[in-house]
Amino acid sequence: MFDGAAAKITSSGVQLNGAIEPNAARTTWYFQYGLGTAYGLQTAPAVMSGLGARPINATLGGLAPATTFHFRLLAQTSTTLFVGPDVTFTTKALVRARPAGVSVTASAVRHRRTASVSVSGALRLGAASARGCNGDVEVQILRGADTISLRDVPIAPDCSYRKTVTLSATRIQHATQLGVRARFTGNATVGPSGFVRRAVRL
């Protein structure tokens, strides 16, 4: 009487297709779907009037990426419930955009017993959506090859970040120059960036 198939599969949606050849003047049809053969969810019922084979479809959204779902097509007449075979589809994996990079500027001021290192910059998204302007930039301050400070700095909605780090005298003793490294650590829509390094004089 009918069959079902999945099409237009994305990371969060799908179109469920089927065909029904009613043997009654009025037929109500819908899809059941879920993570297993218990289903648990269904599309809104629709009514088909008249006889003769014809295609039907329903669109689902809000699905989890990279997940296998089960579904089946059901049709109800006044006397009979017809149940189609179990069919599966797998949503696509979510592909995160690649950032164009992270810009970094840094300066340092030595005080009597401390030093202040100011780091700022911005996440460059390139073709990625502005919705990617969230997450953290990992900022490292180095003395030679040794990391003497490690901070996660939140990105502002305008894609910028800024942080001033105060270092004790014991950490900077005899140093005339420090290294600053920064990288975006990624979020749900944008992947991580590589490190960018700058040198600052004390």
Quick count: other Cβ atoms within 10 Å of Cβ 185? 13
Give the architecture-level CATH label for domain 2-90.
Sandwich (2.60)
Instruction: DSSP for 135-161, please give it.
Output: SEEEEEEEETTEEEEEEEEEPPTTSEE
Domain ranges of the chain: 2-90, 101-201
Phi, psi of 74 (to 5 degrees): -125, 145
**Three-state DSSP class for residue 196:** strand
At residue 133, the pLDDT reads: 87
- pLDDT tens-digit readout, 11-63: 899 999 998 887 778 889 999 999 999 999 999 999 988 777 789 999 999 99
Same fold for the domain at 2-90 and the one at 101-201?
yes
Q: Which fold has domain 101-201?
A: Immunoglobulin-like (2.60.40)
The pTM of the full predicted model, rounded to 2 decimals, is: 0.59
Mean per-residue pLDDT over the chain, rounded:
90
